[in-house]
Structure 1
């Protein structure tokens, strides 16, 4: 018998008892009423409000992930403890249920979405040539925002999505692209091998790997002089007042200069603590702030710990310290290929008091893709969550991140 099963998300009976996001919503399935924040709630909600949702599930039904073809093969959410368990991905329920899409950007959420960089600068694909680098002119390309992807194939543990697109950057260079994105649910043995550790008995887990392939289908090579693209993966998660992002780095001389922390103004010291080889970033959804690490110091790992729900999240990007990375700052750049490889964003209220989330993000980027015509570049990332006894998770965090969770608690 195969270890994993793939099923279209089960049909459910849904009762909506709300007119606004602040009122209570009841979603009912065969097991009764699913609580908001549970995986079953999100599965039912997405089934109602999107057209093609796929579910990957372990044989015991504990490890599950939801994928959406409507949203570019996005991993919408996951659980480590079955249908009634915590749903790890942040979802924008109002926007997903809205009858019309937004013109500029549709932040529907999801714990890993496929985007491409650079965002800003003379090689940006989010601004038209000659426009000012401000929010009024910022436009997310439709092929990573509103366009549906084709489900190429699926088996009992994975699904592959595809899309072709064309985009012109700020400098006028056209890119013809073929995208293929495969999402694979990982077994305990596969995840342990990827992490190069043993997953302790009694710890509940879910893990998935994405493989993102980009092919240059145009008639010209992609060159640094005309602009390059990158794969950009962003995970949106639900914050709590006790959530901390933890990012280890190599303690080279002057390492602090390779950490960007002023994307949205100065971050208070109590919210960002940078030690010799690790940083702690408060991600409670209460202050808009962002950090980034250069490939010169970044390790191929980042994580977070939610002390309120006792959840350890680990993300494994690929890092190449000798490669060029696109720069996404919203300005004409002197160094367009000295960008970040790992980022983290904490959502918070805007100046007018409105707020998109709350959520927090952990992001990573591939190197700049200097692809000859017909060539393909790939980028992989693994995301996993662990729940269980605090002392056991503390040991796991020490092994993977080199951090003592008790220190963060204090």
Structure 2
């Protein structure tokens, strides 16, 4: 009887999510630390199911600031600029508050940019994030423990002088295990994980849009904590290596970017500024990263219906303004002014370029998953999703 009981108990324990040791973790990397920083803001919403938590703040444009798979003591997956938030001050260009998924608008550069004033040169000195996606508060419509809905009406003008009048609905929702396993097509038993989805709908409430004068796109960007053992993993269509843009801020050095058998390996240590762009013809609508130091596998999914036109965000007057990227990855580092925003990297996805008529809407859905466990457990997920082994990653 006793032996049978112990066997049953051992089996039950094997099915429980593995807990990451907290003894060596910097307290500032915990979810509880970030929640204490933001919980007193009246626009803060905490989504929660068991130990899975997602923190959303309306003051920061209803962005997902961070999440945890292991409660308050768990690792806080989003990079948050503690110093800037504590200061209460605003700066030029962009207020890098952080957050693991924020709502932005495209395009960033070019004749239809909403980040440069008409006639200004495309340099960092003149780059300015619009207030609507930088400092304005998004009102909460409704929320419960599983999801929150936010809405914002606004107007914005692009580099060519085209004016847009729009309404945004943004829903952030926790995913349950059945939903997550169905989306990932993997078992999550025995793994600590959290997953959430944002459903973003941009409605044209003004004049009809025309591609000859510019359109807006939904752009979702996630700031995650960088580490020296962190690798961004982006699958791409084989034979389309030449279509991948790795020269946004100068060519990414060969020792930081490897293209091999349909997979991009991009070092995400926040020590060298660089950006990747994946156009639709090279796209697999999936991205991931693996932080070997903390045994965290992050997975990004987004809806893609085969669209081929995306806004171009290159900082130049463009010959082809709709031959842009559907997926991006960014590693922070010193910019051309010698300063740096922070120790983070980004995974980003965009909606296609659509000329909306009055009353028409554009929708973009993105899902983010963070998984923690043993390297063996995460390796099984990585092999099934990406077809690669963690032991083969270049930076571990």
TM-score by length of 1: 0.88
Report the Cα distance in structure 2 between the residues aligned to 1:249 and 1:361, rounded to whole angstroms: 18
Offset, 1:355: 1.9
Report the Cα distance in structure 2 between the residues aligned to 1:78 and 1:104, rounded to whole angstroms: 27
Report the Cα distance in structure 2 between the residues aligned to 1:120 and 1:354, rounded to whole angstroms: 21
**Aligned match for 2:193, one of 186, 202, 205:** 205
Q: Which secondary structure state, in structure 2, belongs to the residue aligned with residue 36 of structure 1?
A: helix
TM-superposition CA deviations, 1:30-55 (whole Å, max 9, x none): xxxx921100000001124x442110
TM-superposition CA deviations, 1:110-129 (whole Å, max 9, x none): 00000000011111111121
Residue 6 of structure 2 corresponds to which residue in structure 1? Answer: none
Q: Is the 8 A contact 2:45 2:56 kept in 1?
A: yes
Residue 244 of structure 1 corresponds to which residue in structure 2? Answer: 231
RMSD across aligned C-alpha pairs, in angstroms?
1.4
Q: Which secondary structure state, in structure 1, belongs to the residue aligned with residue 363 of structure 2?
A: strand
Offset, 1:352: 5.5
Structure 2 residue ranges without an equivalent (≥5): 1-25
**Where is the helix percentage greater, Structure 1 or Structure 2?**
2
Report the Cα distance in structure 2 between the residues aligned to 1:51 and 1:146, rounded to whole angstroms: 16
Q: Is 1:226 matched with 2:213?
A: yes
Residue 299 of structure 2 corresponds to which residue in structure 1? Answer: 314
Structure 1 residue ranges without an equivalent (≥5): 1-33
**Aligned match for 1:94, one of 74, 77, 83:** 83
Q: Is the 8 A contact 1:326 1:368 kept in 2?
A: yes
Q: Is 1:171 matched with 2:160?
A: yes
**Aligned match for 1:216, one of 204, 229, 232:** 204
Residue 52 of structure 1 corresponds to which residue in structure 2? Answer: 43
Q: Is the 8 A contact 1:320 1:367 kept in 2?
A: no
Offset, 1:409: 5.0
Q: How many residues align?
A: 370
Q: Which has the higher contact order (CA 8 A, sep 6+)?
A: 2
Q: Is the 8 A contact 1:75 1:113 kept in 2?
A: yes
TM-superposition CA deviations, 1:121-162 (whole Å, max 9, x none): 111111121111112221111111100001001123000011
Q: Which secondary structure state, in structure 1, belongs to the residue aligned with residue 222 of structure 2?
A: strand
TM-superposition CA deviations, 1:248-268 (whole Å, max 9, x none): 1111x3x11111111122222
Report the Cα distance in structure 1 between the residues aligned to 2:132 and 2:180, rounded to whole angstroms: 31
Residue 126 of structure 1 corresponds to which residue in structure 2? Answer: 115
Residue 41 of structure 1 corresponds to which residue in structure 2? Answer: 33
TM-score by length of 2: 0.91
Offset, 1:353: 4.5
Residue 22 of structure 2 corresponds to which residue in structure 1? Answer: none
Report the Cα distance in structure 2 between the residues aligned to 1:394 and 1:116, rounded to whole angstroms: 35
